[in-house]
Amino acid sequence: MLELLQGFWESTGFSELVKCNTELFGLRLPGELIMICIACVFLYLAIKKGFEPYLLIPIAFGMLLVNLPLAGLMAHAVGDQAVTIMVNAIEKALAQYPRENHRHRIEHCGLTNPELIARIAKLGIIPISNPSFITINGRDYNRYYGDRVDYLFALRSYLDAGIITAIGSDSPVTHPNPMNSLYGALNRKDRKNGDSVGEMQKVDVPQIIRMFTYNGAYASFEENIKGSLEPGKLADIVVLSEDLLTYPAEDVQSVEVLYTLVDGKVVYTRS
């Protein structure tokens, strides 16, 4: 399999651009990992060269998973076909290398359906949603996906299925302000025009706060040091201008950060 990927890698000319152990974004990575990390580039080039879409990518992910049985994998998948590919690969890896508490993650896990959600729950996969996209792309999601938006960033369905899920902004693709994600998860609306997007997936403020805090730490095996305010944990805290539990849901994007503490030290003060 590596020979196949290597041959395709070299045939595209990218091997001249990125050599083994070259610096990529300030990190030194082995060539094989670089090849897999830019699988999206492979997909585009594969189509240009006449390969069928998703021909090589599922095999690459499967190889990665099977060869990293002791690692908590994080991979990106947005559409339901891409999510299916990741679920299939994780399922195959866990069948070959059973492991409790693996915490494999699917970043975005954008479009799903009840069958996929049931499989994600059974396998113990952690989806990381980005509901801030709903606030800026909601109308287009409705236009292109129709009723499928009922399972777009399906936070309510995840909770109902017993899935531990976390939230991220996906910055710099969207603004890093977490209030955007809070608004999207709480209201499920496009802020530009007020269009509703899959309202059945609304969740409440305490649930969203947990997804941002404890669940985020849990997803990276760090819940013993952060994610909640407890003795012995890092005092990573924000002080907000409003009480999120009582503030109007429609106005949460106006909430501001007054102070930020990292490990108990004030690192930001709003002037």
Going across the sheet that includes 166-167, the strands are: 74-77, 105-108, 126-129, 166-167
Describe the chain by its helix, strand, coil percentages, rounded to 5: 45, 15, 40
What length is written for the chain?
271
Q: Which helix (H) or strand (E) holds 205?
A: helix 205-212
pLDDT at 97: 84
Q: How far is Cα 168 from Cα 181, in angstroms, rounded to an integer?
A: 8
Radius of gyration over alpha carbons of the chain, in Å?
A: 20
pLDDT at 43: 52
pLDDT at 85: 87
pLDDT at 121: 98
Q: How far is Cα 71 from Cα 65, in angstroms, rounded to an integer?
A: 9
Among the listed residues 107, 128, 249, the one whose alpha carbon sits nearest the alpha carbon of residue 189: 249
The pLDDT tens digits along the chain (271 residues) read: 445 445 544 544 444 434 433 444 444 444 444 444 555 555 555 555 554 444 444 444 444 444 444 456 778 889 998 899 889 888 988 888 888 899 999 999 999 999 999 999 999 999 999 999 999 999 999 999 999 999 999 999 999 999 999 999 998 888 899 999 999 999 999 999 999 999 999 999 999 999 999 999 999 999 999 999 999 999 999 999 999 999 999 999 999 999 999 999 999 999 8
pLDDT at 173: 87
Among the listed residues 102, 162, 87, 158, the one whose alpha carbon sits nearest the alpha carbon of residue 129: 158
Q: Which helix (H) or strand (E) holds 82?
A: helix 80-96
